[in-house]
Amino acid sequence: MANQRRLADNTNQYEAGHRGAPRKGIALLQGLAVCGQCGRRMTVRYSGPDSACPVYCCLADRNQTGSSLCQEVRAPAVDELVAQTLLKALEPDQIAIAIAALDEIAEETRSLEKQWALRRERARYDAERARRQYDTVEPENRLVARTLEKAWEDKLRLVGEIEQEYRRWKDREPLVLQAQDHAALQELAENLPAIWHSETTQPEDRKRILRFIVQEVVLDQKKIRGQVAIKILWQTGATSEHQIQRRVQSYDRDYGELELVRERITQLNAAGDMDRQIAKILNEEGVRSSRGKLFSYEKHLALTPPLGNPHSQDQRRRSQSAALA
């Protein structure tokens, strides 16, 4: 059944919810990206002069109704965050914590297994007891025989229901790790960063690694102005939420930190800092330009209005701080 599900999932039918087989393109989330606006799986296209920049696109509305695209999200920054989050989650100390948690879950699973064994044994015993009672009744006592037969059938039906419940529970049962598995996971955690960043590791190999750990990644660049909201759904069922700044062409197009930058530059101007110092401080504080790059004092963009005092011209000149590197 697991192999059949995997083969079905490898078909490239995003509309049906399939992820498709990992392909050679550099888009890390190929088949895993889900639109945060409509919930459909996103496709990948490549843009730029050499078609080297992957973009995650939600084409469902356009393909089905002829309307505009639901949304498009540039892949590089998203892929970098997901890769960093994956490697962080698989660091040796995190693996040790996860193994300890899995050991606790395994202990609970063993306890539940014993409870299921007792429940199944009890149901089979009751059914066998009902059968013996039916076998001992005299044939001429038809009313008693029919009553005992119905009781036996009810017990057999209960046995079947409990067995079905048990099989469903077994299908959902978490993985139980052995001692050799612990050592293998620790070794993998130590070697994974080198394997991930190796020049010999192909994009499809990274995608396969990612799919073992991550079920899907929901992207939404319309939820927060100037940001891409990212929700990672892990194979364990846990979720983690992240945000990255969108890369836009100018400060009047969805640059979510415009007011923050304007206010910070005004503060730094009031303190007497010049362009070079302002750019350095903004970079150290983690603020990025509209294109997601470091600020540079060589290029300027007026982010603050003139200040109403005798030195406004000088302060306005200083306030035109670094924008795009």
DSSP letter string over 216-268?
Answer: EEEEESSSSTTEEEEEEEETTS-EEEEEEEPP-SSTTSS-TTHHHHHHHHHHH
Q: Report, as an integer, the average pLDDT of 47-65.
A: 79
Predicted pLDDT of residue 176: 66
CA 183/CA 158 separation, integer angstroms = 43
Host H or E run for residue 181:
helix 179-197
Helix, coil or strand: residue 309: coil
- Bridge partners of 173, per DSSP, are none
Q: List the single range of 52-61, 112-121, 209-218, 229-238 with lowest mean pLDDT.
A: 52-61
Q: Report, as an integer, the average pLDDT of 214-238.
A: 89
Predicted pLDDT of residue 129: 93
Predicted pLDDT of residue 63: 60
Residue-wise pLDDT for 233-242, tens only, equals 998 788 999 9
Predicted pLDDT of residue 35: 93
Q: Report, as an integer, the average pLDDT of 284-309.
A: 60
Predicted pLDDT of residue 185: 72
Predicted pLDDT of residue 59: 82
Of the chain, the percentage scoring pLDDT greater than 90 comes to 30
- Bridge partners of 54, per DSSP, are 46
Q: Report, as an integer, the average pLDDT of 195-219.
A: 91
Whether pLDDT at 81 is above 90: yes
Predicted pLDDT of residue 97: 74
CA-wise closest residue to 221 among 6, 85, 32, 33: 33
Predicted pLDDT of residue 301: 42
Per-residue pLDDT band for 117 (boundaries 50, 70, 90) equals very high
What sign for the dihedral angle of Cα 196, 198, 203, 205? negative
Q: List the single range of 54-68, 135-149, 188-202, 236-250 with lowest mean pLDDT.
A: 54-68
For 190, other C-beta atoms within 10 Å of its C-beta total 13
Residue-wise pLDDT for 169-184, tens only, equals 888 776 666 777 777 7
Which of 3-12, 43-52, 62-71, 263-272 ranks highest by mean pLDDT? 43-52
Q: Report, as an integer, the average pLDDT of 42-66.
A: 81
CA 4/CA 70 separation, integer angstroms = 32
User: What is the pTM for the complete model shown?
Assistant: 0.57
> What are the backbone angles phi and psi of residue 91, rounded to the nearest 5°?
-65, 155
CA-wise closest residue to 33 among 22, 23, 44: 44
Per-residue pLDDT band for 311 (boundaries 50, 70, 90) equals very low
Residue-wise pLDDT for 244-285, tens only, equals 877 766 666 666 667 777 788 888 877 877 777 888 888 888
